[in-house]
Structure 1
């Protein structure tokens, strides 16, 4: 393990500088494959962790049918997962600064393995909802720490490490629904066990290949994310993300119920969606920011998202039309995710990790409401109504962003 570097966790300025270097380094994509084993171990675990977000998507209708549950009941699997993930983002920095990044990663992985296994053994929807909440706890601990660890151990500079992390995110978000569909076609319980096995491999790889890393010199107080949200610019971006993610997770969690496809069909549709998400995030978003700036890029892409969601509400009875719109939304959401993350890093002088924790708290808690509400709205109004509600939520976010532009003078 001589190729593994034992470095300190990078601070916010180093990671932000790395993101800028990506745009200037034409050889970063080639160097992304020249990494030590420790970096690949954490990156693999990242892929599986992000797979967990969409893995359940293709099996939601199957769970509802086999457990005699309504769409709103099974969509609580996402609500509990996202709500706990968001809340736990408030304490992950505090915990990691005290027990160290490697231990935080391992604890998160153990929790994911435990609760995904128990999810495969669950006997009711209520049990699944509670177990997905535990899964969200492990996911928050892992993903909040993984980026800084990859930057610390990767070779070729921080810019390459950031690209490795983004590639893992895109791969996980696209492969998750496909794997969920493949295993779900066998039985709805199979995807839960599949994630547990893959995460066990990731756990062993991180434990063996990642050397112990020193704890940060400065301990993060529990109050840090709340103090960060006192900055008006960061609060504005966070609240905008809250309403935007309402639309994001309505699309992701409600669409399987109106596509009239089997598990594999749903999985493949969202695999394409994930690929488009990665293309928008990695390849298109930087060009948007360069040509239009952060503020204008966000505004234009959110308008596109609002229009597309409204069209999905109109065409909710036409599965082929919905499939095309879902693919288009992947592109728009990928662009918006990257531009909004850039805005979080630029909008305030708050240290990056703290700003990210505060922002993630708002966006995940906002996203947690939409799955359950989408199910309820469809049950009581119409199958297209959830998309209209999602479009309205994103519109509120856009209006808030526009009205408070003066609070974001630091943005381009």
Structure 2
């Protein structure tokens, strides 16, 4: 493909990332939503971010198969359209359950966007270029999340319902995908080739499950974690989530350089970064500077771990199996994010005696340290790394 063609594919990848970033559109206003719908359990409020993962998990299981029959372009356009419609639907009525089930329906878009984008990159890019483009894809997700959460934190201050209108950006993504993705797709992995997965795919998916389970704790708790003069300030919550995203953007663009330095231990290093970030956030809930540092460390983890893990999984299977391998990883991501808030809250109460955001971050910190140690052992034993 020509350089101009590559730029168009990258533009489409950035638009797909925007669909992905809309998952976090309610994150900065969760505290106001909880206050407004005070009779709704806090775990359900937190699941406004993670509930889409239930549908996304189901969609991911069939997306690889569908891509071979209806094409990636059609699926990505469908994802953009559904994202826009379900995003603004809660504007029709002030009802928590309309909001909740609209967020679940958005999961169709999330499942397509997350599971297929890796296969799209694998189709058009190889070797170091694939690592670089996947880093750019992760950076694009971070940039989308930064824009979405920062804007939502500002426009949602005083009336969280205004934040819903950010989902109109999905229609912008629709237009970019329609223009930039070629109607005639590459055929090198199409046809009736048999899908082949191996045990390494499932090991990688297990570690992705763990990383995703803990990394989502940042966005599900940050707006309710602020204390002192920062308490209840949606603009600050949006700023912190935006900084998390900026960090993800920067380290996503630097992924190729980070991999050259940390080599086979890139993924465990990202896990330890997340643990340190949560420790800082838990200890300093009223200190803006320390909260920013914690957000940067957490953003580093997501910006490095997700694209690097997705690149790795495409290298251990034949190209024909890349969509299904990335779908397995997507199921791991979505399944873990779906159950994370409830389990983290239960664990916090069991270990520390009460469910607070500080205790939730400490549980996530401890769990990530243990996971990171296991990841180091895995990488030491894996001779193919």
Would you call these one fold, judging by a TM-score over 0.5? yes
Residue equivalent to 1:52? 22
1:273 deviates by 1.4
Coordinate RMSD, CA, aligned: 3.3
Summarize the Cα distance change of 1:220–1:77 in structure 2 as closer, same or farther, 3 Å threshold.
farther
- Contact 2:284–2:290 (Cα < 8 Å) also in 1: yes
Q: How does 1:286-365 map to 2 (within 5 A)?
A: 286-294=256-264, 296-316=265-285, 318=287, 320-347=289-316, 351-365=321-335
Q: Distance in 1 between matches of 2:329 and 2:173?
A: 27
Q: Distance in 2 between matches of 1:46 and 1:177?
A: 17
The TM-score normalised by the length of structure 2 is 0.82
1:249 deviates by 0.2
Residue equivalent to 1:168? 140
CA deviations on 1:329-349 (whole Å, 9 max, x unpaired) are 222432333433343334556
Task: Give the secondary-structure state (helix, strand or coil) at the position aligned to 1:293.
Answer: helix
Q: Distance in 2 between matches of 1:101 and 1:365?
A: 23
CA deviations on 1:128-148 (whole Å, 9 max, x unpaired) are 222111101122223433455
Summarize the Cα distance change of 1:384–1:143 in structure 2 as closer, same or farther, 3 Å threshold.
closer
CA deviations on 1:338-380 (whole Å, 9 max, x unpaired) are 4333433345567333221111211221122223344556683
Q: Does 1:249 align with 2:219?
A: no
User: Would you tell me which structure has more helix in proportion to its own residues?
Assistant: 2
Q: Does 1:178 align with 2:145?
A: no
Summarize the Cα distance change of 1:37–1:319 in structure 2 as closer, same or farther, 3 Å threshold.
closer
- Contact 1:346–1:410 (Cα < 8 Å) also in 2: no
Q: Does 1:188 align with 2:160?
A: yes
1:97 deviates by 1.0
Residue equivalent to 1:398? 372
Summarize the Cα distance change of 1:47–1:158 in structure 2 as closer, same or farther, 3 Å threshold.
same
1:165 deviates by 3.7
1:153 deviates by 8.3
Residue equivalent to 2:202? 235
- Contact 1:82–1:368 (Cα < 8 Å) also in 2: yes
Q: Distance in 2 between matches of 1:265 and 1:317?
A: 11
1:407 deviates by 6.2
Q: Distance in 2 between matches of 1:271 and 1:391?
A: 21
Q: Which stretch shows the higher mean deviation, 124-133 or 314-323?
A: 314-323
Unaligned 5+ runs, structure 2: none
Aligned length: 370
Residue equivalent to 1:109? 80
Which residue, out of 44, 48, 52, partners 1:81?
A: 52
- Contact 2:136–2:253 (Cα < 8 Å) also in 1: no
The TM-score normalised by the length of structure 1 is 0.77
- Contact 1:277–1:330 (Cα < 8 Å) also in 2: yes
- Contact 2:215–2:274 (Cα < 8 Å) also in 1: no
Unaligned 5+ runs, structure 1: 8-30
Task: Give the secondary-structure state (helix, strand or coil) at the position aligned to 2:104.
Answer: helix
Q: Distance in 1 between matches of 2:260 and 2:124?
A: 30
- Contact 1:236–1:400 (Cα < 8 Å) also in 2: no
